[in-house]
Amino acid sequence: MSYLSNLKPFLQEAWKNAEFEELTEVQQKSIPEILEGKNLVCESPTGTGKTLAYLLPTLNSIDEKRMQAQVLILAPSHELVMQIHQEIQKWTKGSGINSIALIGGANVKNQIEKLKKKPKIVVGTTGRITELIKMKKLKMHEVKTIVVDEFDLMIGNEHINNVRQIIKSTMADRQLLFFSATLSEVTDKVASELMEDYEVIRINQGEVSSTKVEHGYLLSEQRDKIEVLRKLSNVEGIKALVFFNSLEKLSEMEEKLKYQKASLEVLAGESKKMERKHSLDKFRAGKVPMLLTTDVAARGLDISGVTHVIHFEFPTDTKQYIHRSGRTGRMGASGTVLSIVTKREESFLEKMAAELNLKAAKKRLHGGKIIED
């Protein structure tokens, strides 16, 4: 907590208003390193407070008198950019720090107009940022810090060349911060190409399984899983993210459930931008009890108040189980993780639960409620 007392007054005020009790582990480990100006690669599972881990120290470093972009944050999707931007606005209240979100698909002329107001923080997708740099509308010479959020996705073919170009367009002594839910040999290789000295922070999966999250499962024949899901959609007060391993299976289940008049929305990777926004807004507002999605489509999204994470198709490994499950019980809230499993999958679940030191209790549906079996 001592790091907080070193932060500027507007951040301390925002912290008080947010009513968080304490820094999460990733925040405790990252903030001092970032405040010292070090380059950082950080791996921390979903729902552990990564955004604030980089926002608090980078906002603290901004010089309010310098009318130039000083912090640039890159994210892979429109939704994630808008989500980060909302956080920035919340945490910069009462300060002289202005910000801008730059995404493809939005009117570029409007964005150029807004850039004339000299925002100190820029958050955006790589394509639009690169475009504006090439047009010489976004000046990078004063940028002191570049954050790459969802770093493992940002080094895929779609983004990596833009990320490299953007980093090259800044001065050599800028700070680079790479945050991700998962790191791999590939991320390590790219990180060492892009920067010479950097610290690595890894928050262990086991260290984040919230005690307020209950894990359980419902046993079902493969062909009956859809009926189990339909019944779950009628459980009172449920706000569930339902995970699928493939788009094919997701689309098939969506069609069948909608035919049965089940109330749900879908968030799939290739949905159009407006469709995605519509689905997310309805789910966030609690107008539908279920949002069907895949791991890729749901990456980085912060949806508050998710009561249940449902694994319709069983995760391929423990990492995937942890990431999905991290969507409920965020920042200390309570939640339930339910796997709909066949007899064969039940043994996988038992093995995984043992590995993760979790207890997954057998449940059943009775009278519109989920009860212990």
pLDDT score, position 81: 92
Matching CATH number, 209-372, of 3.40.50.300, 3.20.20.140, 3.40.630.20, 1.10.1060.10: 3.40.50.300
> Tokens for 337?
């993780």
**Quick check: helix, strand or coil at residue 77?**
coil
Distance CA 1, CA 290 (A): 37
Give tens-digit pLDDT for 320-346. Answer: 888 888 788 765 677 899 999 999 999
Strand order, beta sheet including 308-311: 265-267, 290-294, 240-244, 308-311, 335-341, 213-219, 360-366, 369-372
| pTM > 0.85 | no
- Indicate the DSSP class of residue 141: T
Same fold, 2-206 and 209-372: yes
> Tokens for 19?
């009513």
How is domain 2-206 classified at the CATH fold level?
Rossmann fold (3.40.50)
pLDDT score, position 262: 87
Distance CA 43, CA 26 (A): 9
pLDDT score, position 367: 84
pLDDT score, position 45: 78
The number of C-alpha atoms within 13 Å of 208 and in the hemisphere containing its C-beta is 29
Residues in the chain, pLDDT under 50:
1, 207-208
Q: Which of 372, 341, 65, 71 is nearest to 222 (CA)?
A: 341
Give the residue extent of every domain in the chain: 2-206, 209-372
The number of C-alpha atoms within 13 Å of 180 and in the hemisphere containing its C-beta is 20
